[in-house]
Homo-oligomer: A and B are copies of this chain.
Amino acid sequence: MEKEITIYDIAKDLGVSPTTVSRALNNHPAVKEKTKMRIFEAALKMGYQSNVFAANLRSKKTHNIGVIVPRLNSSFQSSVIAGMEKVATDAGFNLIISQSLESYDKEIANVHTMFNSRVDGLLVSLAANTEKIDHFKPFMKKGTPVLFFDRIAECEDCTGVTIDNIQAAYKATNHLIEQGCKKIVHVLGNIKINVYADRLKGYKYALLDKGLAFEDALVIYSDLNEEAGEAIVKKIMALKPLPDGLFVSNDACAASCIRHLKLEGIKIPEDIAVVGFNNDVISRLIEPNITTVNYPGFEMGEVAMKNLINHLEGQTIGILTNTNKITLRSELIIRDSSKRKKEQ
């Protein structure tokens, strides 16, 4: 309730103008070093706190960056956010975070809120059923950069940060083939999402290269949550003959599948070898440990944020507009759920 200290108070106190105080506090070169010092000290002593809103109002910059993810409670997504937060905080930016909960409508609402909050930039991982990206148009129109990560949009003038999902899925599938699998089931999410579409491609390419036939019946669509295993396993058990490999596009779901396969008396990896995706905590806790693709979440967050901020600060004019895809390295981590041969 006490009156706020403003640059005017400092100015009056020191007998200088508010202009000089403002410049000094922003470390403007046109203020004498000695004057700066006096102002810094006075500001500190008087308990001055800059009013962001006055600054934002005038400078039209908020130093806020919006982040929209499908869900916060995903170990992958929260690693990404942790990486983003680190870079943003170091650069003096705040993070405004919201989740779409995989809903297109909520995503639209979130984008709206972000627009009204006038974030300087937006980082987005798309919801499952987002097909159009018209809701980002106000940003494009205004010139506010929008950068997609992981779940990126197929759009000419959009920049995105991802891993090479095709390659990762190729490696995963190939690994199963090398372990002797001849009939591999692939479980994936909504094919509208680039991530799953690409992994399906990688799976197909690997089969093709090794001379195995692709069958529609071996592709199972699922929402990949931790309860999905039961339904998936039911479908698997209906296949004759039984498959001997399983590539699931998500560790939590892979874990659920393993659980239900074991309940059916299937031995992992002897009867069916399993590979997951994401390197979630759960992949290390479940019995057997799940072979999985390590997804560099933290790094992805860092890279995405760093690019956005560089662009905002005009350090790399054009990088974001010319590049339209940044691809990060991913790796297959081989664990017991797929390890059949000893010479691995």
A contacts, CB < 8 Å to B: 1-2, 49-54, 56-57, 62, 64, 71-75, 77-79, 81-82, 85, 89, 94-99, 101, 109, 113, 115-118, 141-143, 226, 252, 255-256, 259, 262, 281-282, 284-287
**Chain copies in the assembled complex:** 2
A79 to B2 alpha-carbon distance, docked (Å)? 37
16 contacts between A and B (CB under 8 A): A1-B142, A2-B141, A2-B142, A49-B115, A53-B56, A73-B73, A78-B78, A82-B99, A89-B109, A94-B113, A226-B281, A226-B284, A259-B285, A259-B287, A282-B282, A282-B285
Is the beta-carbon distance between B259 and A281 smaller than 8 angstroms?
no
* Chain B nearest Cβ from A63, distance in angstroms: 9
Is the beta-carbon distance between A96 and B96 smaller than 8 angstroms?
yes
A143 to B2 alpha-carbon distance, docked (Å)? 10
Contacts of A99 in B (CB 8 A): 82, 85
* Chain B nearest Cβ from A92, distance in angstroms: 9
Is the beta-carbon distance between B53 and A252 smaller than 8 angstroms?
no
Contacts of A74 in B (CB 8 A): 73
Closest chain B residue to A263, Cβ basis = B287
Is the beta-carbon distance between B49 and A53 smaller than 8 angstroms?
no
* Chain B nearest Cβ from A64, distance in angstroms: 8
Closest chain B residue to A63, Cβ basis = B117
Contacts of A85 in B (CB 8 A): 98-99
Contacts of A51 in B (CB 8 A): 57, 118
A2 to B143 alpha-carbon distance, docked (Å)? 10
A53 to B54 alpha-carbon distance, docked (Å)? 7
Contacts of A52 in B (CB 8 A): 116-118
Contacts of A259 in B (CB 8 A): 285, 287
* Chain B nearest Cβ from A134, distance in angstroms: 15
A1 to B144 alpha-carbon distance, docked (Å)? 10
A97 to B97 alpha-carbon distance, docked (Å)? 6
Contacts of A141 in B (CB 8 A): 2
Contacts of A109 in B (CB 8 A): 89
* Chain B nearest Cβ from A246, distance in angstroms: 16
Known: A81-B72, A117-B52. A285 touches B94 (CB 8 A): no
Known: A73-B82, A96-B96. A256 touches B285 (CB 8 A): yes
A28 to B282 alpha-carbon distance, docked (Å)? 53
